[in-house]
Chains A and B, each alone.
Chain A
């Protein structure tokens, strides 16, 4: 059976928990998505953009020094960090931009946490000539100031959101509010496999390419399928994208790494599949972090892109069915993995992706005999945006140096 069903359910998860005003737009979007998949012109145009604009296929890198480091297991990195704009987010956004055009809309809005989805959306909006507004939690605009500047350079309006927890969850609320009010002219390009039907299925379909490529590349390189595929899970789009082609391969373990923050047992984390419970948030039923009254709980993670209390409904389904396994990876473990990857392979990955690298290390260490194992890790994004955070974490710069550098930058940036 292919999921979701006709009403957008993955078993008990998914569906539509939305204001009535959005139902017509969701129906229109579902219809546009369905017909576009069968339209050879659409498929060819998306393929052309992915190839000539986004730089697909992305390579599968044989990380030899990393393999040595983990005792011989073969670690293969799916390099979404090399895609245009620096993460997998571009795959989804190019697909949704084509759909926006197909529906005759001229404005796109988006929510963003780390800023990668916002940057990807701003990029596609520039390419297609759309107006673009990106909602970003005020706290994240500070954590990811570089990406705010990138979006503005690309011509997008960035709106800092100061309600609630001032992070991705509240940016998503704000984007939904904009959408309800402007739905006739505006497409909400949601950034992950979350939200009401058809978003989870549609975003997955646009991200599937990651796994389709990785599966074939692994076969070509190693001559067999991997033992495990590991990805980080915020909303879950890079994970769903790389998992999907492997779902029928029952011997391939699928491992999703949520943000463990200070540790899943401390309560300060963003790991709903590992430590949350089923409920409804942002239009769909899935696992989420909530208190006994069903109020959404605040999350903690060093990674803005994983700092989200919900997760896509298909992951909830895969968790319950046992086809995929989820674990929390702490800030400390993720940052340690980021450093190892940088020093062993010369790849500075996003902090989000570092959770997957750390999860792969953990999974390998749990195997009785790991040296002949093959693991594919989703390197979902590059780490340029995280250099400030990493420099502080590792104490590579002192607080005074940061302040001084910012002063110098401020002076240099002044108009003569």
Chain B
């Protein structure tokens, strides 16, 4: 994560390892399996947040069951205390999220729900009303993992989000290089990269992560 800070990220998303990450492709699933085998615990995420949040804003990315098991209110308190700004919840939709939304609001944390190309305008409006911080727009219909091209529906989705809310819009899923980052930055407020960085860490350690981050950051500022 420090390599990412040095490489020029504007914010960091820290994942909570979960045994059944349904929104993630093979790269992150394999990483998560390894983390859990290595003894990673839910509470460790707060140590990571504490480490980087003084340098860049930090949100966690967590599947719901570990967060619920930890206790939504306790999770929010501990995240806040660690300096976190909010949480992205990929398998939680606003309809099922009242306990988390209440807990997050109480700590002035940002609950971040996702919108997808298949979302109706009505649902996008609900997410816009419920979220704080930003709206996470998934560039494609699918799971995390590098793709050769940015989904063509991403731009249209961002426009639909802007019609419903003034929150900034971050676009993620499948973005893996500076070229794609530049393209997305042309219509979105933020570019979200996950699996490509995990793969970089796997293949080349922190040095490769820093390199990729620099490439991505340069793309965003192009």
Contact = CB atoms under 8 A, between A and B. Distances in A.
A170 B22 CA distance: 10
Interface in B81-138: 90-93, 95-96, 113-120, 123, 127, 138
A16 B93 contact: yes
Interface in A343-369: none
A17 B143 contact: no
Interface of B: 18-23, 25-26, 29-30, 33, 36, 41-42, 64-70, 90-93, 95-96, 113-120, 123, 127, 138, 140-143
Interface stretch (A21-29, A213-221, A399-407): A21-29
Given A181-B143, A183-B118, 19 more contacts: A15-B95, A16-B93, A19-B116, A19-B138, A20-B116, A20-B118, A23-B93, A163-B30, A170-B20, A177-B143, A180-B141, A181-B140, A184-B118, A279-B65, A279-B69, A280-B91, A293-B69, A295-B36, A296-B19
User: Which of A20, A173, A295 counts the most chain B CB atoms within 10 A?
Assistant: A20
Nearest to B118: A24
A188 to B, nearest CB: 12
Contacts of A19: 22-23, 90-91, 114, 116, 138
A297 to B, nearest CB: 8
Nearest to B143: A177
A292 B143 contact: no
Contacts of B64: 17, 280
A7 B70 CA distance: 25
B138 A293 contact: no
Contacts of B119: 20-21, 23-24
Main secondary structure of the interface of A (DSSP, over half): mixed
- Give the interface SS of chain B, mostly helix, strand, loop or mixed: loop
Contacts of B140: 181
B68 A21 contact: no
B98 to A, nearest CB: 11
A25 B114 CA distance: 16
16 contacts: A17-B92, A18-B22, A18-B93, A19-B23, A20-B113, A20-B119, A21-B142, A163-B33, A164-B29, A177-B142, A177-B143, A182-B141, A279-B68, A293-B42, A294-B42, A296-B65
Contacts of A88: none
Interface residues of A, number: 35
A294 B70 contact: yes
Interface string A166-182: 00011001001100111
Contacts of A280: 64-65, 68, 91
Contacts of A293: 41-42, 66, 69-70
B19 to A, nearest CB: 4
B20 A281 contact: yes
A282 interface: yes
A299 interface: no
Interface in A180-215: 180-184
Interface in A9-50: 15-25
Nearest to B18: A295
A121 interface: no
A280 B92 CA distance: 10
Given A20-B123, A181-B143, A281-B20, A294 B68 contact: yes
